[in-house]
Structure 1
Amino acid sequence: MINHLKLNQLYFKDTQFANLMTRRIFNVLLVANPYDAFMLEDDGRIEEKIFNEYMNLSLRYPPRFTQVVTREEAWRQLNNTGFDLVICMPGSDNSDTFDIAREIKQKYANLPLVVLTPFSHGIRKRMEHEDLSIFEYVFCWLGNTDLLVSIIKLIEDKMNLEHDIKEVGVQMILLVEDSIRFYSSVLPNLYKFVLKQSQEFATEALNEHQRTLRMRGRPKIVLARSYEEAKELYMKYANNVLGVISDARFPREGVVDPYAGIRLLKEIRSMNPFLPLILQSSEPENRKYAVECRAQFVDKNSKKMNIDLREAISEHFGFGDFVFRDPVTKAEVAHIHNLKDLQNAVFTIPADSFLYHIGRNHVSRWLYSRAIFPVAEFLKQVTWESLQDLDAHRQIIFEAIVRYRKQKNQGVVAEFKRDRFDRYSNFARIGDGSLGGKGRGLAFIDNLLKRHLEFDEFENASVVIPKTVVLCTDIFDEFMETNQLYQLALSDVDDDTILHAFLRAKLPDRLVEDFFTFFEVVKTPIAIRSSSLLEDSHYQPFAGVYSTYMIPYLEDKYEMLRMLSDAIKAVYASVFYKDSKAYMQATSNVIDEEKMAVILQEVVGTQYGDRYYPSISGVARSINYYPINDELAEEGIVSLALGLGKYIVDGGVTLRVCPYHPTQVLQTSEMEIALRETQTRFYALDLKNMGQKFSLDDGFNLLKLSVKDAEADGALDYLASTYDPYDMVIRDGIYPGGRKLITFANILQHDVFPLAQILRLVQKYGQGEMRRPVEIEFAVNFDAKTKSGTFYLLQIRPMVDVKADLAEDLHAVPEEELLLKSENALGHGIIDDVCDVIYVKTQGYSASNNQLIAYDIEKWNKRFLDEGKHYVLIGPGRWGSSDTWLGIPVKWPNISAARIIVEAGLTNYRVDPSQGTHFFQNLTSLGVGYFTINAYMNDGLYNQEVLDAMPAVEETKFIRWVRFERPLTIKMNGKKKVGIVQLPV
């Protein structure tokens, strides 16, 4: 069916309200004699009145008025200030107002001029002989300041009309009227009504800033004073006319025609059967013509003419609430206040009423009047004629609204409103303070996902952030002050005392209803994360200093409220724990400046009985200082694990993958490594733990389980491989018997889920827009039955490179100053606290002694560990190889005090760089450098003579230990794979 196709391709472009109404009137020159100007200003308060008028209508930028009397004053002002509008008030004397106006027009051809005058007998006579063609409009001053607002808005609408209609499809109301007296009184009422309506529909906006911008999408009012002008405007903008209000009598072909309006409305009706039309006339006999062209009739002679007109517009132009009526009795069957109401009611409206309204385009007109252009535009094309299927029509309206609301909610920090927060809401804030570091990062990611359409293009994956509500920092301030907690919090009492004092304190009462609304929408466990002002700030890492709690979802809302409140208070308390205070001191921050926002977020995962955890958690870094094989540093690196992400943060064994080479995973490249270095435990949330006692440990309700438990939950499909002990092989997938290894092989190598592609995009755009390397936390819910899933971005922060950014060119250091240089080095940063070198003697070296060498090194390493010191380790071949012919078979504990490990090839003993495969997890997590040098082939430099010439601290048959008086300087550039060890100066 045509429209289902359309819906699938439907991507609602966000309306850029900021691009509307860009041309404004800021400065107005008023040419009038002092008496007329005084009369206009009603004792000199025009600016104040206009200002109040603007404020009442939530309009910004009220214009400034400059009043001049004489020609000289006018020119002096014009030469000094850029004016946007000139209003001339011709007095009844023979003043030269019109002459001044003509001179202005000659020099400033594009400056709009308007005549504003009280139509006394003398002025009318004078104006009969004036050429008024240089003026945009002539208005009649009846002592009402509203008219000035209307004049300014009318001219602004005219200036912006073409651009705004093309840009987003803004609507226009066409007013056809040539009586100056009449349009001078109708326009203020019309504008007041439309601007008030735009305040109403601005409630569809998600925050204050958006509200102001949305008002720019209000319908424009265009005044035509002749048949030809009206016809031309209608033909040009026929698709964007909200409605037409026309007089009956006005000029046609240069002559006043008593039936011009009736002719115009009949023509419009023949082109558009459903457009709302209003005929207003002072001749009651014209009512019959209104009936002929299905227009509303408004009698100009009525005492309440303005009220009649307003009611006709409100009823027929789509303003106000939408009322579904019974087509026969006209009784109300449904009352729709906003978009969410329409979405909820669309399936329950009686068929005959629904058909009556969609058949007449009422729904799209209502959406247009509320500046919801994308949906209005779309639904206008879906006509009853093209579809002829009520249920399909309901479905289409529903899906269009849902899609629009999702898109509108994404990337915007909305104010939390109970009546509007629902499952399509994404990110809202309670309070007006800051969102804190994590909160800002999340808002940034949400916005990034919205702007880059590639994230939408995966067939079996969606990329989103979890539903999030942030309690801004002002709630923290209020909590601290009303409970008078600062004195205790800043004192030296222990953490437990602080936690208990905070748990006894009270959160603001108004939050209770907000939390209940949140529970209604997010029917999953909730994570309560800290988001402090300093956390994730660009220049200092505060990650992991404060607490993150998780609470299960309960049917008992009050019990859940208690847990949530306790968790929030416990996060607040963590600002003042000993570790936080010490960290503050270490980073030269003042604890009083630290303010805490709190993030409430759905926990990503699936429920398995009383446990809850995601299929995959991970941390991606957009730069990799340990690239191996074909990997490049800038391709980044990702750590993946089963279960909750705390496992990764706590340093558990994860799967290390480069998203550009997802099939080349070091840990699964050899069976022995796979069995030794893949994940065996994981974390899950314990849904039975009701958090009766919140403890300092934010993981008190997490379970540490073995992979066997996940297998029993049936959670490992496509995530694990099976080790077959009989055939001694590892098979991708789940098979009976045999140990399950967390390899994510089906996802990484067989592309069951596009994890690698999503990670590439996330790294690319995250780093691109933060303009620095980033670290990104994420989690994935994967459904093995449908082979589809959701990728949740949890956090983004700059990678704070504690190890300094090496701007220095390491190739430029003279060779005579070096002990070692490698062109194939892993690791990054500067180390300057190592004085010792342990190296394998090359004289008479034989691989047959490798096992004995390993024993010697182990003994010395233990001594270094006991003293808390480090050394540089140099030897031939592969360190840690289980094949003693390839290298010295040490295990990590035997060499764990080394800060740099060097594989140095000999002429008769060359080994390809192993890149420390055997210790990879330890190298990367501890930041140990790994150099490969084949000096005899001019691949790097090893100045062994210097070491041989030094006295040994100790020496065995195979190895020597020497100590420099001052520390060596070790520098590694992980991006360029270059490393050097400089001799002490």
Structure 2
Amino acid sequence: MSTVPQQWNQFYLKDVSFVNLMTRRIFNVLIVANPYDAFMLEDDGRVDEKLFDEYMELGMRYPPSFSQVSTTEEAEQVLKTTDVDLVICMPGNADNDAFAVARDVKRMAPQIPCVVLTPFSHGITKRIENEDMSIFDYVFCWLGNTNLILSIIKLIEDRMNIEHDINEAGVQMILLVEDNIRFYSSVLPNLYNYILAQSKRFSTEALNPHAAAQRKRGRPKVVLATNYEDAMRIYEKYHENTLGVISDTRFPMHTPHGQLAQVQDGDAEAGLKLLREIRKRDEYVPLILQSSESENRAKAEAEGFDFIDKNSKKMNVDLRQVIEEHMGFGDFIFRDPQTHEEVCRVRSLKELQDNIFKIPNDSMLYHISRNHMSRWLCARAIFPVSAFLKHVTWHKLQDVDAHRQIIFDAIVQYRHMKNIGVVAVFDRLKFDTYSHFARIGEGSLGGKGRGLAFLDNIIKRHPELNQYPNARVMIPKTVVLCTDYFDQFMDKNNLWGIALSDASDEEILHHFLKAQLPDALIADFFTFFDAVKSPIAVRSSSLLEDSHYQPFAGIYSTYMIPYLDDKYEMLRMLACAIKGVYASVYYKDSKAYMTATSNVIDQEKMAVILQEVVGKTYGDKYYPTFSGVLRSLNYYPIGDETAEEGIASLALGLGKYIVDGGQTLRVSPYHPNQVLQTSEMETALRETQTRFYALDMSRVGDDFQVDDGFNIKNLRVKEADKDGALTGIASTFDPYDQVIRDGIYEGGRKIISFCGVLQHGVFPLPEILQMSERFGADEMRRPVEIEFACNLENGEQGKMNGNFYLLQIRPIVDSKQVLDADLDAISDEKCLLRSANSLGHGISEDVTDVVYVKTNDDFTASENPYIADEIEQINRRFLNEGRNYVLVGPGRWGSSDYWLGIPVKWPHISAARVIVEEGLKNYHVDPSQGTHFFQNLTSFGVGYFTINTYTGDGLFQKEVLDSMPAVEETPHVRHVRFDKPLKIMMDGKKQKGVVLLPDAEQ
């Protein structure tokens, strides 16, 4: 294939906003008519209904309303009291004189368009010849055809909007040159019928019903000229946007000396002269000559113009065929230039994209050398691509294959642009590798679905996110199965009974997996598989999840399924995953969470997100280069970082590792060189990631488990090193020289330091994170948490190319309580607990209980799973009693690795008001950060303290608790209760917190 010249490759398509088109409308029409004509319009013609239907089709809310009067006096009264946009004068009562009435109306309201409808007779024709018609906007021949009224309104609206719409979006114009009133009165309704039918057809290029209604506003405008000078003036003004010209042969034309041509009925060759002049200026624009004199056919065809015989019984059919063939209406038919036979037909932009490389060369050459492709796109209101291709003419680029490539690239870029930021209605005929975000069903998208659509919109409105040549920012391909499918699934399979019972999670899942999803989804799912060609994440998106005030993050299941060549096997796994997500609404933990948040479980509804998993295949593993969570509030600023600059947690592999509380790299996007964990060798060796998660591509089958991580591999970092997946994100520890070197070298342990993307600029990660955080927080008007993932691969000149995917955005809901006190001024003896590293903000004075882990000298982390069970039992009693408590324990709460801390889930500690991570002499604590767990903590204003009393960081008067009687005591945990409430005070900006003993005076 030939190489496309550089200048044709560098183009940028600007989107068109159809909402700004056709903004000037005719709302109130005054008809002055005798009672008979009024009756014809109202009862026989039902003009109101016809117009109403057509306006509804166009997505307009307010079709014109009609007022009908019989006399000039009545008209005057209406004009005084109503805002009239158009007056139509019909034959009068006695002498059939609409002209006298129209003159009176023009005198009363000269600024309002006024149209005369008149029946035709010899007397009227003579009358018109002697009348000064210039004061009327238009005169039409009235034969009782109500479609004419619609055409008149459209013609005047087109005139009102043409200049703005052409400048705004490049809308096209069809110029009709005709001075015969009877003739244009019959042609215009047919022309408009055809144009409106075309606009309905091309609106199917839109991605959802709202966009389809808006697209119709991009239909071509019709302009009527009645003499040569008007026609030339209109053409010269809008020549760049002329879709075609339809001209009569004989009409008025001035001589070179300014005299009107002294020829009966105008100049006999005015039409030919007009079309010749236009052809000189534009070799491609379709030109159609009409005439009732058959000898004009030979003249027209000799000059390459199309000809239509006005005397033909099928004149309207002929006109329609010519318009379809030459003005790009209807399907695009590729023809054999010799035989003129059809070789290929395309109905949509996607079909053109799919077939562009299959069209025979001679047919392709025939069409591109006549600019047919550009015109077809224009007629379908695909203005950005059309305008671009219009200038890539055959003269400038005489290479068929280069043209094919340019057309293909332009369509791809246009479809990318149109897909971003739009929630399309899923359509099997349109969804492909260039599609983006679609919905199946009419219900809600759910919380995560809304968040994704919102992110997509942010990307569309902030092109600066994609300013770096080696970085593309986007969301993964996504289809949302809306909540109405959930309702249908629950009802059809009679699942409410088991769902709301006290059955075990396993039993609930078993019942859900046996249930059936609608068969109608099968073909949609197959289309989605073909479009993504990657593993699929099946994520919950419930109504309550990620809502602004009560985030349900991490409560429901997220399954991942591998990509398989066997589509039916993949379909089976996908169905199981969807049913597993549905079932997770009714698991024990979900029900406990509902109770904790005062929600009613039968109000919860579940949408399901099907999304390509970001990553690459490495043997039987699949994972991204890295994942992360970005928060726009940093509760642990170090050095010169500030709370408002935000914080990111980065990890190799799947993001579930971060959610599960694994060891991540914590960095402020504004201070990429300041990473605490890699500042010293010992810290880097001890506190960087040693394991990562990957999807097990070999785990195939329908044995789905309650644990949504059943097919996720927990691997050592050296496995990723063998895969060659660490470039840009790892350093190497040299055991001989006892140093850590940035980059990857033979031998030596690999440290996940992210040195390449943070400090060496191989990929603009800090800049993308800064923008994502800023735009996200600005658009949500509050602090946000954003999940992301990225695939990197080697690029040129030491850089790396990467696709950066934004996966989720949700608000961080902070307590608004005012804290005036200086916590440093409170003395230690008044405090039960003090932390200089706390998360949370506000004051609480209603907690009397403390639950703490008994950390004696013989404490060992191997007991942590048992401690988690004991705390869950105690927490359940607190929930039942509606009480809260302060929780203190060693290590990292919520870690899935029980060697790092106690492996509780949020529902197991949901009644805690303050959670404290305590460091022991031989059990060092690194503050957790960026997990779903913390989203819940901050949402409910729960305090989170880190203390390491052995290093002098913080205070914990454990002896006070040890001396008190226990309300309850288990092998590892004690629960004590004070007579009066403890006072909890947290300063979120300074990261300081205290729990005051009862009766302590500040």
Q: TM-score, normalised by structure 2?
A: 0.85
**CA contact under 8 A between 1:7 and 1:400: conserved in structure 2?**
no
**CA contact under 8 A between 2:947 and 2:955: conserved in structure 1?**
no
Question: Equivalent residue for 1:748?
Answer: 758
1:687 to 688, 697, 711: 697
**CA contact under 8 A between 1:825 and 1:972: conserved in structure 2?**
no
Classify the secondary structure of the residue corresponding to 1:383: coil
Matched, 1:505 2:505: no
Instruction: Provide the rounded CA distance (Å) in 1 between the counterparts of 2:183 and 2:849.
Output: 97
Q: Give unmatched runs, 5+ long, in structure 2.
A: 255-259, 851-855, 875-884, 892-899, 903-911, 938-942, 965-975
CA deviation vs aligned residue, 1:10-48 (integer Å, no higher than 9, x gap)? 221111011111111122111112222113334473312
**CA contact under 8 A between 2:823 and 2:992: conserved in structure 1?**
no
Matched, 1:769 2:782: no
Question: Equivalent residue for 1:883?
Answer: none
| Compared CA separation, residues 45 and 200, structure 1 to 2 (3 A) | closer
Question: Equivalent residue for 1:467?
Answer: 477
Q: Shift in Å at residue 81 of structure 1? A: 2.7
Instruction: Provide the rounded CA distance (Å) in 2 between the counterparts of 1:856 and 1:57.
Output: 77
Matched, 1:578 2:579: no
* Structure 2 residue identity aligned to 1:742: I
Matched, 1:387 2:429: no
Instruction: Provide the rounded CA distance (Å) in 1 between the counterparts of 2:694 and 2:859.
Output: 41
Question: Equivalent residue for 1:14?
Answer: 15
Range with greater deviation from structure 2 (807-816 or 423-432)? 807-816
Classify the secondary structure of the residue corresponding to 1:734: coil
Instruction: Provide the rounded CA distance (Å) in 2 between the counterparts of 1:943 and 1:590.
Output: 40
* Structure 2 residue identity aligned to 1:360: R
* Structure 2 residue identity aligned to 1:827: L
* Structure 1 residue identity aligned to 2:184: Y
Question: Equivalent residue for 1:792?
Answer: 805
Matched, 1:805 2:816: yes
* Structure 2 residue identity aligned to 1:971: M
Q: Shift in Å at residue 299 of structure 1? A: 0.6
Range with greater deviation from structure 2 (270-279 or 488-497)? 488-497
Instruction: Provide the rounded CA distance (Å) in 2 between the counterparts of 1:464 and 1:39.
Output: 58
CA deviation vs aligned residue, 1:730-774 (integer Å, no higher than 9, x gap)? 112222332222111122111211111111111111111011111
2:685 to 664, 675, 678: 675
Classify the secondary structure of the residue corresponding to 1:972: strand
2:638 to 610, 628, 638: 628
Q: How does 1:854-893 map to 2 (within 5 A)?
A: none
Q: Shift in Å at residue 922 of structure 1? A: 4.8
Q: Shift in Å at residue 584 of structure 1? A: 2.0
**CA contact under 8 A between 1:368 and 1:376: conserved in structure 2?**
yes
Question: Equivalent residue for 2:370?
Answer: 360
Report the number of matched residues: 914
Instruction: Provide the rounded CA distance (Å) in 2 between the counterparts of 1:516 and 1:774.
Output: 35
**CA contact under 8 A between 1:436 and 1:534: conserved in structure 2?**
yes
Instruction: Provide the rounded CA distance (Å) in 2 between the counterparts of 1:236 and 1:2.
Output: 37
Instruction: Provide the rounded CA distance (Å) in 2 between the counterparts of 1:549 and 1:822.
Output: 40
CA deviation vs aligned residue, 1:274-309 (integer Å, no higher than 9, x gap)? 211110011111112212331111110111111111
**CA contact under 8 A between 1:829 and 1:972: conserved in structure 2?**
yes
* Structure 2 residue identity aligned to 1:752: V
* Structure 1 residue identity aligned to 2:540: S
**CA contact under 8 A between 2:218 and 2:381: conserved in structure 1?**
yes
Matched, 1:973 2:979: no
| Compared CA separation, residues 90 and 701, structure 1 to 2 (3 A) | same
| Compared CA separation, residues 964 and 455, structure 1 to 2 (3 A) | same
| Compared CA separation, residues 307 and 928, structure 1 to 2 (3 A) | closer
Matched, 1:828 2:840: yes
| Compared CA separation, residues 606 and 814, structure 1 to 2 (3 A) | closer
2:527 to 495, 498, 517: 517
Question: Equivalent residue for 2:967?
Answer: none
**CA contact under 8 A between 1:20 and 1:217: conserved in structure 2?**
yes
| Compared CA separation, residues 834 and 130, structure 1 to 2 (3 A) | same
CA deviation vs aligned residue, 1:666-711 (integer Å, no higher than 9, x gap)? 1111122112211111111111111331111111111111112222
1:326 to 318, 333, 336: 336
Instruction: Provide the rounded CA distance (Å) in 2 between the counterparts of 1:649 and 1:135.
Output: 73
**CA contact under 8 A between 2:618 and 2:723: conserved in structure 1?**
yes
Question: Equivalent residue for 2:881?
Answer: none
**CA contact under 8 A between 2:512 and 2:579: conserved in structure 1?**
yes
Question: Equivalent residue for 1:30?
Answer: 31
| Compared CA separation, residues 99 and 932, structure 1 to 2 (3 A) | farther
| Compared CA separation, residues 364 and 963, structure 1 to 2 (3 A) | closer
2:623 to 613, 616, 638: 613
Classify the secondary structure of the residue corresponding to 1:618: strand
Question: Equivalent residue for 2:467?
Answer: 457
1:407 to 387, 407, 417: 417
Classify the secondary structure of the residue corresponding to 1:385: coil
Instruction: Provide the rounded CA distance (Å) in 2 between the counterparts of 1:733 and 1:284.
Output: 83
Instruction: Provide the rounded CA distance (Å) in 1 between the counterparts of 2:589 and 2:387.
Output: 57
**CA contact under 8 A between 2:925 and 2:948: conserved in structure 1?**
no
Instruction: Provide the rounded CA distance (Å) in 1 between the counterparts of 2:400 and 2:573.
Output: 46
CA deviation vs aligned residue, 1:61-107 (integer Å, no higher than 9, x gap)? 43211112234432333333322211111325158865554454345
Instruction: Provide the rounded CA distance (Å) in 2 between the counterparts of 1:689 and 1:561.
Output: 15
| Compared CA separation, residues 383 and 742, structure 1 to 2 (3 A) | same
Question: Equivalent residue for 2:906?
Answer: none
Question: Equivalent residue for 1:886?
Answer: none
Q: How does 1:234-253 map to 2 (within 5 A)?
A: 234-253=235-254
Instruction: Provide the rounded CA distance (Å) in 2 between the counterparts of 1:964 and 1:602.
Output: 52
Q: Shift in Å at residue 241 of structure 1? A: 0.4
| Compared CA separation, residues 795 and 293, structure 1 to 2 (3 A) | same
Instruction: Provide the rounded CA distance (Å) in 1 between the counterparts of 2:226 and 2:212.
Output: 34
| Compared CA separation, residues 664 and 579, structure 1 to 2 (3 A) | same
Range with greater deviation from structure 2 (459-468 or 95-104)? 95-104
Instruction: Provide the rounded CA distance (Å) in 2 between the counterparts of 1:372 and 1:701.
Output: 45
Q: How does 1:476-495 map to 2 (within 5 A)?
A: 476-495=486-505
Question: Equivalent residue for 1:209?
Answer: 210
Q: Shift in Å at residue 817 of structure 1? A: 13
Instruction: Provide the rounded CA distance (Å) in 1 between the counterparts of 2:961 and 2:455.
Output: 58
1:591 to 601, 607, 620: 601
Question: Equivalent residue for 1:231?
Answer: 232
* Structure 1 residue identity aligned to 2:520: R
Question: Equivalent residue for 2:442?
Answer: 432
| Compared CA separation, residues 575 and 771, structure 1 to 2 (3 A) | same
| Compared CA separation, residues 56 and 424, structure 1 to 2 (3 A) | closer
| Compared CA separation, residues 901 and 710, structure 1 to 2 (3 A) | closer
**CA contact under 8 A between 2:786 and 2:809: conserved in structure 1?**
yes
| Compared CA separation, residues 872 and 189, structure 1 to 2 (3 A) | closer
Aligned alpha-carbon RMSD (Å):
3.7
* Structure 1 residue identity aligned to 2:983: T
**CA contact under 8 A between 2:4 and 2:405: conserved in structure 1?**
no
Instruction: Provide the rounded CA distance (Å) in 1 between the counterparts of 2:576 and 2:805.
Output: 26
Question: Equivalent residue for 2:882?
Answer: none
Q: Shift in Å at residue 119 of structure 1? A: 2.5
| Compared CA separation, residues 796 and 723, structure 1 to 2 (3 A) | same
2:380 to 362, 370, 373: 370
Q: Shift in Å at residue 263 of structure 1? A: 1.1
Question: Equivalent residue for 1:154?
Answer: 155
Identity of aligned residues (%): 62
| Compared CA separation, residues 774 and 282, structure 1 to 2 (3 A) | same
Q: Shift in Å at residue 476 of structure 1? A: 1.4
Question: Equivalent residue for 1:218?
Answer: 219
Classify the secondary structure of the residue corresponding to 2:803: strand
* Structure 2 residue identity aligned to 1:969: K
* Structure 2 residue identity aligned to 1:188: P
Question: Equivalent residue for 1:887?
Answer: none
Instruction: Provide the rounded CA distance (Å) in 2 between the counterparts of 1:662 and 1:268.
Output: 62
Matched, 1:279 2:289: yes
Q: Shift in Å at residue 355 of structure 1? A: 1.7
Range with greater deviation from structure 2 (733-742 or 187-196)? 733-742
* Structure 1 residue identity aligned to 2:510: H
Question: Equivalent residue for 2:566?
Answer: 556
Instruction: Provide the rounded CA distance (Å) in 1 between the counterparts of 2:557 and 2:274.
Output: 70
